[in-house]
């Protein structure tokens, strides 16, 4: 019996040119390169230029993913963008990117789940491809998180950066075995609205009429992140009838190196199996998973047949994971 699965056939990413190092930050606020590296693993981050918007970052990542797949925008019938930093309150960034790619057909919309956004976008897209409603999709995580930061607040300003990552997903008939099929084998999402106060933006179009700034109680978020991520990673493996020993690469949301290491340890996954980009990208929210994926695909670490475990946790709280065979 064959099943319809969503296979990733191309990846791409884009980082703005301007690099902001820990030393640059230490010259502006009361922090140090040593503290940032020791507590987070971050060394530098990229910052979008004035006039460079989330849709610009996302469109460039999408062009690169299409080129990697050997396709043009004409071959795509769905665009799903995960972002918490849209160019405008509306319309969706996805429709802006649709226009920038010159597409006059198809469907484009955004999903909002902050740092888990890419896992949410991937899961929604997987359902739409499996249902037969669509055949080929661009799934994009794109953020200009630097614009949500209070640059006077050292507890958050040092943690985030800007960037975008994209994948092309195609519905393909596969034999129907999670032990060998390519594509998305299982995904699981969760949310719990009780924790708004621990990680949120203190403004919005429907409340203050302003964009607001990011506020986070980092220590508490850290604790929830390790618990929730290890739990959903275990859950998704169980749904796919797989075990941690089957995992070739963990491609995680890049919030903090200590979270990546603690989460992998809980599942008995060797740290060498975890793709780490937090050192050079910092936390790019919804862009971090597809950015890390593109890095590990292009440098040759990820090979055909490898089982990947994608995971993320963010504001809401929201969290999720996906098991994908390359």
Residue nearer to ligand UT7 on the CB measure, 81 or 169: 81
**Could you give the CA distance from residue 144 to residue 121 in angstroms, rounded to a whole number?**
18
Contacts of residue 314, defined as CB under 8 A and 6 or more positions apart, other chains included, come to 113, 114, 115, 116, 117, 199, 253, 285, 286
Residue nearer to ligand UT7 on the CB measure, 115 or 139: 115
Q: Which one of residues 19, 222, 246, 266 is an interface residue with ligand UT7 (CB under 6 A)? A: 222
Residues facing 142 on adjacent strands: 164
Closest of 223, 217, 202, 125 to residue 166, by C-alpha? 125
**Neighbouring C-beta atoms of residue 192, cutoff 10 Å:** 12
Active site residue 22: no
SS3 (DSSP) at 244: helix
* Residue 316 phi, psi (nearest 5): 140, -60
**Neighbouring C-beta atoms of residue 72, cutoff 10 Å:** 13
Length of the chain: 326
Q: Considering the candidates 22, 46, 115, 228, report the single residue annotated as catalytic.
A: 115
Say which DSSP state 29 is in: S
Q: Is the dihedral of CA 154, 155, 158, 160 positive or negative?
A: negative
Q: Which one of residues 219, 245, 268, 300 is an interface residue with ligand UT7 (CB under 6 A)? A: 219
User: Shortest distance, CB of residue 222 to ligand UT7, whole angstroms?
Assistant: 4
Q: How many residues bind ligand UT7 (CB under 6 A)?
A: 18
User: Shortest distance, CB of residue 39 to ligand UT7, whole angstroms?
Assistant: 4
Q: Considering the candidates 46, 134, 253, 281, report the single residue annotated as catalytic.
A: 253
Per CB under 6 A, contacts with ligand UT7 among 144-163 are 154-155, 158
22 binds ligand UT7 (CB under 6 A): no
Q: Which one of residues 59, 81, 115, 267 is an interface residue with ligand UT7 (CB under 6 A)? A: 115
Buried b (16+ CB within 10 A) or exposed e, 160-186: bbbbbbbbbbbbbebeeebeebbbbbb
Q: In Å, how far are 104, 141, 234, 263, 283 from 298, measured between CA atoms?
A: 30, 18, 27, 25, 20
Q: Kindly indicate which of the ranges 141-149, 180-188, 203-211, 215-223 contains the residues binding ligand UT7, using the contact rule CB under 6 A.
A: 215-223
314 binds ligand UT7 (CB under 6 A): yes
Active site residue 187: no
225 binds ligand UT7 (CB under 6 A): yes
* Residue 110 phi, psi (nearest 5): -105, 155
Binding to ligand UT7 by CB under 6 A, coded x per residue (else -) over 247-286, reads --------xx--x-----------------------x---
Residue nearer to ligand UT7 on the CB measure, 123 or 285: 285
215 binds ligand UT7 (CB under 6 A): no
39 binds ligand UT7 (CB under 6 A): yes
* Residues in contact with ligand UT7 by the rule CB under 6 A: 31, 35, 39-40, 115, 154-155, 158, 218-219, 221-222, 225, 255-256, 259, 283, 314
Residues annotated catalytic, as ranges: 115, 253, 283
């Amino acid at each position: 019996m064959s099943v319809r699965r969503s296979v990733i056939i191309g990846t791409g990413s884009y980082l703005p040119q301007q690099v902001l190092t820990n030393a640059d930050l230490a010259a502006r606020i009361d922090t140090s390169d040593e503290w940032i590296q020791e507590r987070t693993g971050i060394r530098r981050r990229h910052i979008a230029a004035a006039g460079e918007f989330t849709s610009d970052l996302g469109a460039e990542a999408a062009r690169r993913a299409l080129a990697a797949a050997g396709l043009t925008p004409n071959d795509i019938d769905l665009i799903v963008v995960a972002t918490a930093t849209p160019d405008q309150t509306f319309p969706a960034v996805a429709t802006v990117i649709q226009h920038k790619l010159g597409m006059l057909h198809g469907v484009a919309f955004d999903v909002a789940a902050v740092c888990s956004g890419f896992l949410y976008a991937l899961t929604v897209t997987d359902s739409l491809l499996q249902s037969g409603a669509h055949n080929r999709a661009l799934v994009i995580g794109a953020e200009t998180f630097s614009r949500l930061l209070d640059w006077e607040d050292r507890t958050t300003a040092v943690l985030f950066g800007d960037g975008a990552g994209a994948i092309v997903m195609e519905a393909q008939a596969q034999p129907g075995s999670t032990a060998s099929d390519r594509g998305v084998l299982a995904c699981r999402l969760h949310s719990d609205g009780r924790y708004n106060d621990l990680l949120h933006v203190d403004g919005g179009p429907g409340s203050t009429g302003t964009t607001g700034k990011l506020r986070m109680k980092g220590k508490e978020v850290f604790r929830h992140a390790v618990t929730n991520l290890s739990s959903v990673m275990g859950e998704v493996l169980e749904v796919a009838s797989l075990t941690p020993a089957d995992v070739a690469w963990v491609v995680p949301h890049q919030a903090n190196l200590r979270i990546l290491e603690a989460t992998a340890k809980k599942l008995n996954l060797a740290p060498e199996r975890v793709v780490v980009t937090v050192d050079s990208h910092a936390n790019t929210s919804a862009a971090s998973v597809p950015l890390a994926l593109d890095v590990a695909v292009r440098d040759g670490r990820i090979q055909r047949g490898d089982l990947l475990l994608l995971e993320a946790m963010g504001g809401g709280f929201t969290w999720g994971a996906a098991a994908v065979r390359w």
